[in-house]
C-alpha cells in the first residue's frame, strides 16, 4: 500500500501541528518555606571575611551533570545567609552557610574537644544517634585567613530540601579555635565550589548528588533577600533557577578558573569620576563572603569617593544621612554594566536606638601567588541573582547574572 504525495504531506503537517502543541516536560520543583533568623544581641563580628583561604588552589577540571530542589536561607543583618540541612538517620538538623568559595561540608561533632568553645554554642553531630553512619576516620584540616578547624571525616546520609538519602563524606569538626565561629549564627559550612578546592580529595556534596542520580544538573542559583521588612532570607535552588527571582535576561560570563567561581571583570566605575580595575581584573563570586572586597589601594579610593570613614583596618563607616546623595558603583561583567546604588552597597544596622551604616566595600589583599582580585560577596549577590552552572565536557562552567526582583514585585 502506498500513500499519495498529497496525503503524505497532509499527514506530516498534522503530525507537525501535534508536536508543536506538546509542551516540554518540566522537572518537579521542590520548595521549602523560607525563614529569616532575627538577630539577637550578639556581637557583629563577621563583617570581616571569616573565611578567606590562605592558599590559592591548583587548577583542575570541573565534573559533568532538572530536578531542582529549593533550600531556605536565613539572613543575619544582611551579612550572614544560611539554611538547614539534615545529616544521619533520622536527620540531625544543622544551619549551614552554602558557600561557593569552598567545597567541603562540615559540622561540629559531639566528640569535639572540651576546650573548643564554638562547639558548645552550636548543634553537634552525634554519630551514635544515626543508623546510617559509616566511620571514615581520615583527619582533615581547613586553614582560613582568620583561623582554622580540624577533625575527622565521616560518611552519612544528607537531607537537603526535597533531596533525601544522598550519601556524602563530611567533616566532623573536633577543634575550632577561631573566635569568629563562636559568634556565627550557623553551625557549619556546605561548600559549593569546584572539587579541586576540597581538602583530602573529598567529593563535594553537589557532585555526589549528581553522581547518585538525585540531582540531574550541576546547576544551582542564589536569591538573597535584602528586604529588612520581610521574614525570609532568600532561596537556594538546586538543579536550576527560578525566573521569578530575577528580571531577565541572564548575562552569562565564563568561569576563568574552575576552582573558585572566578570570572573576568572588565572595569569598575564609581559615579562619573573614578575608574578602578581599569585594565580588567579577576573577580570571585562568593556567597561565603559578606561584603565586596578588593585590593587595598583601590578600595581606599572607592571608599574615599563615597565618603567612607576608616574605623578598622580595611573597614569603613558611612554617614547614614548621606546615603541618598552617594554615587552609583557599577561593575562591567560580560559586557554588561551591573549597577549598585547606595541602598545596595551600604549595610544599615539599627539596634537599641543607634543607626549605624557600614560600607559594603572592604579592603582585602589575597596572598601570593594569587593575582589582585575582587570578591563579589553578598552585597553584590543580594542585588543580583547568580546562576552557577558547572557545565559539562562540551561547555565550560559559567555564571549567569540578572537583577534580583524585590519580593513584592
| Sign of the Cα pseudo-torsion (192, 383, 44, 123, in order) | negative
Catalytic one of 156, 207, 286, 378: 286
**Dihedral sign from CA coordinates of 226, 228, 232, 233:** positive
> Contact 107/87 with Cβ under 8 angstroms?
yes
Active site residue 242: no
Distances (CA, A) of 376 to 80, 192, 290, 369, 380: 14, 15, 9, 20, 6
Specify which residues 356 forms β-bridges with: 349
Kindly tell me the number of DSSP H helices and DSSP E strands found in the chain.
6, 27
Distance of CA 332 to the CA centre of its chain: 20
Tell me how far the alpha carbon of residue 46 is from its chain's centroid.
16
Find all residues with CB under 8 Å of 378, minimum gap 6, and list them: 78, 79, 81, 224, 287, 289, 290, 291
Assigned C-alpha cell, 194: 569546584
Cα–Cα distances in angstroms (integers) from residue 224 to residues 16, 218, 339, in the given order: 43, 20, 17
Q: How far apart are CA 204 and CA 169, in angstroms?
A: 8
Question: Measuring CA to CA, which residue among 71, 352, 353, 380 is closest to residue 236?
Answer: 71
Is there a catalytic annotation at residue 365? Answer: no
3-state secondary structure string across 204-238: CHHHHHHHCCCCCCCEEEEEECCCCCCCCCEEEEE
How many angstroms separate the CA atoms of 138 and 325, rounded? 55
- What separation in angstroms does the CA of 230 have from each of 8, 62, 385? 60, 37, 18
DSSP-derived letter for residue 13 is H
Active site residues: 99, 286
Amino acid at each position: 500500500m502506498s500513500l499519495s504525495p498529497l496525503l503524505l504531506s497532509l499527514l506530516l503537517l498534522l503530525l507537525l501541528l501535534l508536536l508543536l502543541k506538546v509542551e516540554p516536560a518540566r522537572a518537579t520543583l521542590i520548595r521549602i518555606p523560607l525563614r529569616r533568623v532575627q538577630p539577637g544581641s550578639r556581637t557583629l563580628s563577621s563583617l570581616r571575611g571569616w573565611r578567606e583561604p590562605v592558599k590559592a588552589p591548583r587548577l583542575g577540571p570541573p565534573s559533568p551533570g532538572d530536578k531542582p530542589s529549593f533550600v531556605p536561607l536565613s539572613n543575619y543583618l544582611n551579612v550572614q545567609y544560611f539554611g538547614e540541612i539534615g545529616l544521619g538517620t533520622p536527620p540531625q538538623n544543622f544551619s549551614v552557610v552554602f558557600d561557593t568559595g569552598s567545597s567541603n561540608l562540615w559540622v561540629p561533632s559531639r566528640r569535639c574537644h572540651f576546650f573548643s568553645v564554638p562547639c558548645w554554642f552550636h548543634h553537634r553531630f552525634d554519630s551514635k544517634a544515626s543508623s546510617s553512619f559509616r566511620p571514615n576516620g581520615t583527619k582533615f584540616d581547613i586553614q582560613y585567613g582568620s583561623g582554622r578547624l580540624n577533625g575527622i571525616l565521616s560518611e552519612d546520609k544528607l537531607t537537603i530540601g526535597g533531596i533525601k538519602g544522598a550519601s556524602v563524606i563530611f567533616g566532623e569538626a573536633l577543634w575550632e579555635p577561631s573566635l569568629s565561629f563562636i559568634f556565627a549564627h550557623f553551625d557549619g559550612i556546605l561548600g559549593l565550589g569546584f572539587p579541586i578546592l576540597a581538602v583530602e580529595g573529598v567529593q563535594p556534596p553537589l557532585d555526589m548528588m549528581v553522581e547518585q542520580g538525585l540531582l540531574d544538573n550541576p546547576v544551582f542559583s542564589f536569591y538573597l533577600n535584602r528586604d529588612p521588612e520581610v521574614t525570609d532570607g532568600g532561596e537556594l535552588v538546586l538543579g536550576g533557577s527560578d525566573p521569578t527571582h530575577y528580571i531577565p535576561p541572564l548575562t552569562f560570563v565564563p568561569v576563568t578558573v574552575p576552582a573558585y567561581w572566578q570570572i573576568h571583570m572588565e572595569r569598575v566605575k564609581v559615579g562619573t569620576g573614578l575608574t578602578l580595575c581599569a585594565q580588567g581584573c579577576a573577580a570571585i563570586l562568593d556567597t561565603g563572603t559578606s561584603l565586596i572586597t578588593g585590593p587595598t589601594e583601590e578600595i581606599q579610593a572607592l571608599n574615599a569617593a563615597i565618603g567612607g570613614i576608616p574605623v578598622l583596618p580595611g573597614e569603613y563607616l558611612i554617614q547614614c544621612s548621606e546615603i541618598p546623595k552617594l554615587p552609583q558603583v557599577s561593575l562591567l561583567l560580560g559586557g554588561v554594566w551591573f549597577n549598585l546604588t547606595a541602598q545596595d552597597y551600604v549595610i544599615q544596622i539599627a539596634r537599641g536606638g543607634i543607626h549605624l551604616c557600614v560600607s559594603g566595600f572592604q579592603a582585602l589583599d589575597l596572598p601570593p601567588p594569587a593575582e589582585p582580585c575582587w570578591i563579589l560577596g553578598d552585597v553584590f549577590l543580594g542585588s543580583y541573582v547568580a546562576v552557577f552552572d558547572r557545565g559539562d565536557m562540551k561547555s565550560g562552567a559559567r555564571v549567569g547574572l540578572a537583577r534580583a526582583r524585590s519580593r513584592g514585585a
